[in-house]
Chain A
Amino acid sequence: MTLDQLRAKAAERRQTCTQIKKMIVSRLDLEIEPDWITDDQPLFGRGLELDSLDVLELYVAIEAEFGVALYDSEMAVFGSVSRLADEVNPALRATP
């Protein structure tokens, strides 16, 4: 890939991640700017320190915002914002 193609691909992920961060901050009334949340930081326990009630709120929010139901998914989808982006926008999915 050329540098421009790589930049475009990164921008696509950034857009989805930004949308998720805004949703988290808004739905959970967090007192931080959405961009303060990094793509890779853990969301539960360590990191953003969300709890199981927050998960339920996010299930509803994600379905409303992205039309994706995650109710039966493993907790791993909440491993980070970037991991969540893979779920709500499968075109982004990176294979290690």
Chain B
Amino acid sequence: MATVLANLHPEGTVYGEVGDSSVPLRFSESADEYRVLRERAAVLDLGGNRLIEITGPAAVDFAQRLLARDVEYLTSERCMMSLVLDESGQVVDQVLAFGRENGILLESSCGAGTRLLEHLEEHNDEGVVITDRSADLTVLALEGPYAWGVVGRLIDGELASLPFESVVETEWNGTEIIFARTGFTGEYGYQMIVPVEAAAELWCQALEHAGAAGQEALELAMLEVRQPIPRHEATAGASVIEIGANWLVDVTKDEFVGRDAVLAAFESGQGRRTVGFTGGDAIPEAGARVLAGGQDIGEVVHAVRSAGLGATLGLARVDAELAAAGLEFTVDGVEVTTLTSPYIVPKSWSIPII
């Protein structure tokens, strides 16, 4: 399924199939788009993220049972990121949950909407109404150290300094939109959930102040700050603990689907752990063996060329006792060094909103 903005993307845009969606991987050169995101402000077409509305009297109870974080008191002024797990503790998706007056709105990760929707429907014991809103709503995002300035020029400067994960309903160009302070890359980040009929105009106006960045640049920037990318990291059989996404699960919550399995994995102390690495020029495939002292200790999860590091950057899942920064391993015959996260320090951390 193509994004609603696909007809506005420039000629030569390279698309890729990500789960159930066809999304722009890059509009021109990924390295240039990455630099825009890390140094100025990028606008992102997140049309591959599915919007699913849950309504009905039991909507919050249902969401509370299905999401791994506590959404019981998530008001319409807040959003939060959470994992959705199955009974075995495997990751179904990583969602952004928006509190709504009449329930909750979930934004899936890129291309994972169908899988999420099926999972929600299979678990609908409460009889809530689950509605795929992607035919009438889409998501645009801004990320970058100067994204706050774009918000000011595009909508309202007051919105730029909202606290993290705050949400407001506001009007843009005569259209009601949901505006949220979010962020996937460590830079200042904002999302706008807009009616599809207004998305084209907002996209074009945003491009007057920011550069377009595709999925490749976004995912590289996410990896650099260890923001989980489920489609790469939630490999078959890997527990939340092995992925290192504990922070997207609230174990103080009494009950949610997958809780027992996650706790069992945590308490066992068994399995592997994920650590970042860099080294060499070649990009190892997912599944490439990782050696330490000549012995097989795990495998590569995901690796890319990092424009920020000027080198290969990847994640490896290795024996827990060796999942630490500052070690030298071998991948495909090349020596690599494990890293401390974040692998790139976002510029936004030293730039105030003015």
Interface residues of chain A, those whose CB is within 8 Å of chain B, are 1-7, 9-11, 13-14, 31-32, 35-42, 45-48, 74-76, 79-80, 82-83, 85-86, 92-96
Near A by CB (< 8 A), chain B positions 316-348 give 321-328, 337-343, 345
In the complex, the answer to whether B246 meets A38 with C-beta atoms within 8 Å is: yes
Bound Cα distance A11, B337 (Å): 16
User: Does any Cβ of A come within 8 Å of B218's Cβ?
Assistant: no
CA distance A46 to B227 in the complex (A): 9
Q: Is B162 an interface residue (CB 8 A)?
A: no
Q: Would you call B247 and A3 a contact (CB within 8 A)?
A: no
- Contact call A79/B293, Cβ cutoff below 8 A: no
CA distance A47 to B274 in the complex (A): 16
Q: How far is the CB of B97 from chain A (nearest CB, A)?
A: 14
For residue B276, which residues in chain A have a CB less than 8 angstroms away from its CB? 40
Instruction: Contacts A3-B292, A42-B342, A80-B342 given; indicate if A94 touches B326 (C-beta within 8 A).
Output: yes
Q: Which residues of A contact B294 (CB under 8 A)?
A: 3
The listed residue with most A CB atoms (<10 A of its CB), out of B227, B323, B350, is: B323
Chain B residues whose C-beta falls within 8 Å of the C-beta of A83 in the assembled complex: 340-342
Give me the interface of B with A, judged by CB distance under 8 Å: 81, 164, 183, 186, 225-227, 244, 246-247, 251-252, 266, 274-276, 278, 292-295, 309, 311, 321-328, 337-343, 345, 349-350
* Closest-CB distance, B85 to chain A (whole angstroms): 16
Chain B residue at minimum C-beta to C-beta distance from A2: B293
- Knowing A32-B251, A36-B251, A80-B226, the reply to whether A6 touches B81 (Cβ < 8 A) is no
Contact at B292–A13, with CB atoms within 8 Å?
no
Contact of A96 among B246, B266, B322, B339 (CB under 8 A): B339
Assembled-state Cα–Cα distance A13/B327 (Å): 10
A36-B246 CB under 8 A given contacts A79-B342, A80-B340, A83-B342: yes
* Contacting pair A40 B226 (CB below 8 A): yes
The residue that B345 contacts in the complex, of A3, A13, A32, A76, with Cβ under 8 A, is: A76
Between A and B, 28 residue pairs with Cβ closer than 8 Å are A3-B292, A3-B293, A4-B293, A6-B322, A10-B327, A11-B321, A31-B252, A32-B252, A36-B246, A36-B251, A39-B324, A40-B226, A40-B274, A41-B244, A41-B247, A42-B247, A46-B183, A46-B186, A46-B247, A47-B247, A76-B342, A79-B342, A82-B341, A83-B340, A83-B342, A94-B337, A96-B311, A96-B337
Q: Is the CB of B251 within 8 A of A96?
A: no
> Would B322 and A76 count as touching, CB distance under 8 A?
no
Given the known A-B contacts A32-B252, A83-B341, are A41 and B226 also in contact in the complex, defined by CB atoms under 8 Å? yes
What residues of A have a CB within 8 angstroms of the CB of B325 in the complex?
13, 39, 82, 86, 92, 94
B315 to chain A: closest residue by CB? A40
- Docked-complex contact A3 and B337, CB < 8 angstroms: no
Q: Which of B226, B244, B252, B293 neighbours the largest number of chain A CB atoms within 10 Å of its CB? A: B226
Which interface residue of A6, A85, A96 has the most chain B CB atoms within 10 A?
A: A96
Residues of B within 8 A of A7 (CB): 321-322
Judge whether A75 and B350 touch: CB under 8 Å. yes
